[in-house]
Structure 1
């Protein structure tokens, strides 16, 4: 009888995610920080202070998401690399992921509302909540991808994949071609980022199995881009000032 009662308190094993399970062990997740936001529900209390606010878990940053990738991937955040074609002489790249099948160059957009509409070859996209048109982020991001390519040394033949992410608080209604892993230019939600990188890697492995880069190659590319990265605060501040209004 005692054993039957004890068995009621045993938890059932969780089903593993088919993508992350095949990618190896992930680091243990730390408790998500919380933020105060206004409650959308009307409070019955007469108080206008605590009753108007609730605690809501903060979404992980893009860097946090990328560090959950398997160990063979190398991640670089906030790169500032020389680019003579740029107004400031530099290009600032949000994130770069170096994997066994290619390099992912990532641009993050923090748009929090509205529907984004546009075609792959259209110069300007629209956002339903704004009268101002958005310059096609894929076209703009090509300059960042080219800047990364210029600093690859002997690895310039490596596949580069351009990725632009938006938060899931807006709606992406763009050219379907850039929503699938067949493309080397992708527009996705930020929560899809890690899964898309893994799926794109699998796609490249199936399509071009001979293009496998070993650990020493990935480390060499990481070192090349790290060496090109400008960390001097004054140069970074000048770049930000000159680049105002571009992004």
Structure 2
């Protein structure tokens, strides 16, 4: 009787069910190299990011993006390369042109980021406090661009043309006050003032010369003429850039 009771407690082989066969044993889940489950294996410690990497400074809009803020009646052209026989390369590169109902605005952008700019309209050279090298008067330099645009206006050569040079607000403009106001046809301003200054100049011309209003078809015609005069040939553009920098 006693032997029969002992036989009931003898171990028997376990029968594996489909469920237990599908689950790997603890030993098989370990990493063969470390004996640590793969998802718990510590990788190479990542370098902590600095505050400057986490917090990025907002990117300033480009001049082309700023000009998108003008009303629809203004037509904008960017990065024009038009023929100019007086130029060393035979061309003049114009940063931006805005054709409006009262005038055409020819715009030169300067990306100076530091220093105080001093100079007058008739002075050939201007000074920048952050540089020992003097700056050639940007208005005088820009006059060649203005003349190149005027040469391609066809029947609209009598349209008022306004010359504008912009600087970033990271530098300081301390120049002749006469070229900081909208009553001048040559202006030096900060880039963030551009759209407002164009609209204020248009309003001033409207009050002074109400008859000089160009209709939508005229504005479009001027825009189309300048667009047609623009050279998009990459070789011509490359040659112009090389000659403009004094590289042969």
TM-score, L = length of structure 2: 0.79
Cα-to-partner distance string for 1:135-187 (whole Å, 9 max, x where unaligned): 00000000000000000000000000000000000000000000000000000
Cα-to-partner distance string for 1:54-98 (whole Å, 9 max, x where unaligned): 311111110001011000000000000000000000000000000
TM-score, L = length of structure 1: 0.79
Give the equivalent residue in structure 1 for 2:29: none
Give the secondary-structure state (helix, strand or coil) at the position aligned to 2:57. strand
Give the equivalent residue in structure 2 for 1:106: 107
Counterpart-to-counterpart distance in 2, 1:163 and 1:245: 25
How many residues of Structure 1 are paired with residues of Structure 2 in the alignment? Answer: 200
More strand per residue: 1
Give the secondary-structure state (helix, strand or coil) at the position aligned to 2:56. strand
Give the equivalent residue in structure 2 for 1:21: none
Cα-to-partner distance string for 1:8-58 (whole Å, 9 max, x where unaligned): xxxxxxxxxxxxxxxxxxxxxxxxxxxxxxxxxxxxxxx884234431111
- Unpaired stretches in structure 1, ≥5 consecutive residues: 1-46
Give the equivalent residue in structure 2 for 1:15: none
Give the equivalent residue in structure 1 for 2:96: 95
- Unpaired stretches in structure 2, ≥5 consecutive residues: 1-46
RMSD, aligned α-carbons = 1.3
Give the equivalent residue in structure 2 for 1:178: 179
The alignment status of 1:74 with 2:75, answered yes or no, reads: yes
Counterpart-to-counterpart distance in 2, 1:98 and 1:84: 24
Give the equivalent residue in structure 2 for 1:84: 85
Segment drifting more, 89-98 vs 56-65: 56-65
Structure possessing the higher radius of gyration over alpha carbons: 2
Counterpart-to-counterpart distance in 1, 2:120 and 2:66: 28
The alignment status of 1:208 with 2:209, answered yes or no, reads: yes
